[in-house]
Amino acid sequence: MSQRSYFVTGAMGCIGAWTLYHLVRRGERVVSYDISADRSRLDLLLTEAEQVGVTFVRGDLTCREQVQEAMQRYGASHVIHLAALQVPFCRANPVLGAQVNVVGTLNVFEAAREAGIRHVVYASSIAVYGPPQIYPDGLIAHDAPLSPDTLYGGFKQCNEQNARVYFTDYGVSSTALRPYVVYGVGRDQGMTSDPTKAMLAAAAGEDYHIGFGGVSQLQFASDVAQQFIEAADHPLQGAHVFNLGGEPVDMQVVADAIRAAAPGVNITFEPKALPFPMGFDDAQLRQHMGRVYETPLSDGIQQTVEWFRTCLAEGRLRYPV
Ligand SMILES: NC(=O)c1ccc[n+]([C@@H]2O[C@H](COP(=O)([O-])OP(=O)(O)OC[C@H]3O[C@@H](n4cnc5c(N)ncnc54)[C@H](O)[C@@H]3O)[C@@H](O)[C@H]2O)c1
């Protein structure tokens, strides 16, 4: 086993569970830091025996001392900060949203600085951009103006700005990744979780109506997690922010791919598109990262439906949930 130690916040969430999955399979030392002790997403990916080597710390990101203590006690060398409250939770409780998403992120940077860790990887979001009307057609350039119209997007933009200052003032470098619509086992909450919910329904042999349509970029949770790990393994000097890319796809293509993975089910969707442009340019990611993970959509959907089927058959998941 290597001496590296990955400190993963939000590890009980979807992308966090996948991050643990890949790190554990690589034999890495992992510290999970999450306010929740609910391992239900992780249990879909790793057996109890596989989780034995993980150090689980139950802690609140909004408490600076708790984050510092955990990072120092377990000798973190790599930090992957994923914990956050998603759009609907920030909308329902704006102050808590800011405490978790902004202050919590500052606490992670601060704890890293105090522990002498020179690089932090963290999750931003394409929600830092504005509505499609303010941009030209086509993929949105990396440096297009940011104009978030959700509190969540504003908090993520604030984190990106704070990360720049952490580099200039304290020399702590960072790499942020901005996912769009993440899908895969474990994606069960947030405004864009419906395609995955449709995959679960399909695995159970049930029809599903997805609450949005239009064209967007879908990213496989397993790929997204590996991209975060890649970013942690190859620390860049400076404060970097990368869009995750992928081919923009119409929801009809997604529905067809789910139907192909589960013939006989009916997957429909609302025509209304998400309030974001259809896709974001990932040229910067490709330029800076040694490897870009991009499982083809039909393969990712097929794998997800099959994984769900196995979980349902083994009683690790129920449908309806
Ligand atoms: N899922 C997507 O489509 C998507 C898209 C863009 C950006 N992101 C970002 O990626 C990251 C991971 O997303 P996800 O889908 O895995 O999220 P998730 O909602 O599944 O998980 C978030 C985790 O953060 C934890 N958390 C919340 N408050 C906390 C606190 N105060 N202290 C410690 N832990 C706390 C939760 O318990 C949960 O386990 C987030 O930062 C999210 O904003 C996700």
Each residue of 246-295: pLDDT tens digit?
999 999 999 999 999 999 999 999 999 999 999 999 999 999 999 999 99
Residue found by looking up tokens 């006690």 in the block: 73
Which of 20, 21, 35, 220 gets mutated to test ligand 1 (max ligand atoms within 8 A of its CB)? Answer: 35
CA contacts within 13 A on the Cβ side of 151: 19
Position 312 scores a pLDDT of 97
Average confidence score pLDDT of the chain: 97
Strand partners of residue 252: none
Share of the chain above pLDDT 70, in %: 99
Instruction: Examine residue 321 and state whether it is found in any structural domain, yes or no.
Output: no
Number of H helices, E strands in the chain: 13, 13
Q: 307 is written with which tokens?
A: 């994984």
What is the total count of domains within the chain?
A: 1
Q: 166 is written with which tokens?
A: 């952490």
Mapping DSSP to helix (H, G, I), strand (E, B) and coil, where does residue 215 land? strand
Instruction: Examine residue 49 and state whether it is found in any structural domain, yes or no.
Output: yes
Instruction: Examine residue 105 and state whether it is found in any structural domain, yes or no.
Output: yes
pLDDT at 1 over 50: no
- Average confidence (pLDDT) over 131-147: 95
Each residue of 163-183: pLDDT tens digit? 999 999 999 999 999 999 999
Q: How far is the CA of 265 from the centre of ligand 1 (A)?
A: 30
Residues near 308 by Cβ (< 8 Å), separated by ≥ 6? 185, 199, 200, 203, 204, 317
Asked if 85 and 61 touch (Cβ cutoff 8 Å), the reply is: no
Q: Which atom of ligand 1 is nearest to the CA of 152?
A: 43
Which of 89, 120, 122, 125 gets mutated to test ligand 1 (max ligand atoms within 8 A of its CB)? Answer: 125
Q: How far is the CA of 243 from the centre of ligand 1 (A)?
A: 17
What's at 263, amino acid-wise? P
Tell whether ligand 1 has an atom less than 6 A from the beta carbon of residue 62.
yes
Position 191 scores a pLDDT of 81
Tell whether ligand 1 has an atom less than 6 A from the beta carbon of residue 274.
no
Q: Which atom of ligand 1 is nearest to the CA of 62?
A: 31
- How far does the chain reach from its first CA to its final CA, in angstroms? 37
Instruction: Examine residue 206 and state whether it is found in any structural domain, yes or no.
Output: no
Spatial CA neighbour of 184 closest among 303, 16, 310, 7? 303
| Enclosing domain of residue 240 | 5-182+219-245+275-294
Instruction: Examine residue 71 and state whether it is found in any structural domain, yes or no.
Output: yes
75: CATH:
3.40.50.720
Instruction: Examine residue 118 and state whether it is found in any structural domain, yes or no.
Output: yes
Instruction: Examine residue 44 and state whether it is found in any structural domain, yes or no.
Output: yes
pLDDT at 2 over 70: no
The dihedral formed by the CA atoms of 126, 130, 132 and 135, expressed in degrees to the nearest 10 = -100
Residue found by looking up tokens 């802690």 in the block: 59
Task: Work out the burial of residue 320: count CB atoms within 10 Å of its CB; fewer than 13 is exposed, 13-18 middle, 19 or more buried.
Answer: exposed
Q: 118 is written with which tokens?
A: 């020179």
> Regarding beta strands 55-58 and 208-210, do their DSSP bridges make them parallel or antiparallel, or are they unpaired?
unpaired
Instruction: Examine residue 266 and state whether it is found in any structural domain, yes or no.
Output: no
Strand partners of residue 30: 6
Confirm whether pTM is higher than 0.95: yes
Tell whether ligand 1 has an atom less than 6 A from the beta carbon of residue 195.
no
Q: How many other C-beta atoms can be found within 10 angstroms of the C-beta atom of residue 111?
A: 26
Q: Which atom of ligand 1 is nearest to the CA of 14?
A: 16
d(CA 235, CA 233): 6
